[in-house]
Amino acid sequence: MFDKRITIFMGHYGSGKTFIAVNYALALAKLNKKVSIYDLDIVNPYFRTVDAEKTLNAGGVELIVSPFAETNVDIPAMNAASYKMISDLSRYAVADIGGDDRGALALGRFADKIKEENDYQALLVVNKFRPETRDIQGVLDIKQEIEQTSKIAFTGIVNNANLGNETTEETILSGLEFTNEISKITGLPVVFTAVRRDLIKGNLAKISNILPIDPIKYGDWL
């Protein structure tokens, strides 16, 4: 789960990839890794990595944000610090990429260097309870759109099935069954399942490769 220097999280709007990216980066930092998280989510109306600035700072994770974060600018503009993702080989890099093909444009300019280094994983975050990805074809369509625009093929899948505060053991197990089916079709492994920490018990505790998720209050940087 933590064996690649660069980890890229991509998925549809509202898939929960930002919560995953933040928790993943914090988990890396707890392993005494030097970690930077890159908010390349240029046009996302949902929770953004920058909204977790206070939590990331407290956890020892460096936050790199587009200069157009939290604005209405609809272009994949990067600042100079963003290029540390491919130039600073001494740090682990976690990238939160915008939903769908528009957000993936920001990653395209780094694609060649990322593939040249060949020390990365590109993970498709799937929540089967989102309207656009509640069936397998919807997930496959999103996958194709993002890959074509980002110029990077996915290497794995993340099961992030949840219904917010109404999430149960059955919710997560249903999502795992769903992502396992996608894995069979695509040949991509399910790299891990994201589970809210307080739910990791019973049958959920038996799932291999769990990333415990701690809630992050929206706007905790204020």
pLDDT tens for the chain, 222 residues long, are 999 999 999 998 889 998 999 999 999 999 999 999 998 765 554 556 777 888 999 999 999 986 554 454 444 455 677 889 999 999 999 999 866 556 678 788 899 999 999 999 999 999 999 998 999 999 999 999 999 999 999 999 999 999 999 999 999 999 999 999 999 999 999 999 999 999 999 999 999 999 999 987 655 433
Please give the single-letter amino acid code of residue 46: Y
* C-beta of residue 157 within 8 angstroms of C-beta of residue 187: no
Please identify which residue in the block is written with the tokens 């600073």. 88
pTM of the predicted structure, to 2 decimals: 0.90
Contacts of 191-196 with C-beta under 8 Å, sequence gap 24+, read 191/1, 191/121, 191/123, 191/156, 191/157, 191/158, 192/1, 192/158, 192/159, 193/158, 193/159, 193/160, 194/16, 194/19, 194/20, 194/23, 194/158, 194/159, 194/160, 194/162, 196/162, 196/167
Instruction: Give the model's pLDDT for residue 81.
Output: 79
- Report residue 141 as tokens: 């369509």
Task: Residue 96: name the closest of 131, 136, 65, 53 by CA.
Answer: 65
Superfamily of domain 6-213: P-loop containing nucleotide triphosphate hydrolases (3.40.50.300)
Strands 156-159 and 35-40: unpaired
Hey, how many other C-beta atoms are within 10 angstroms of the C-beta on 119? 13
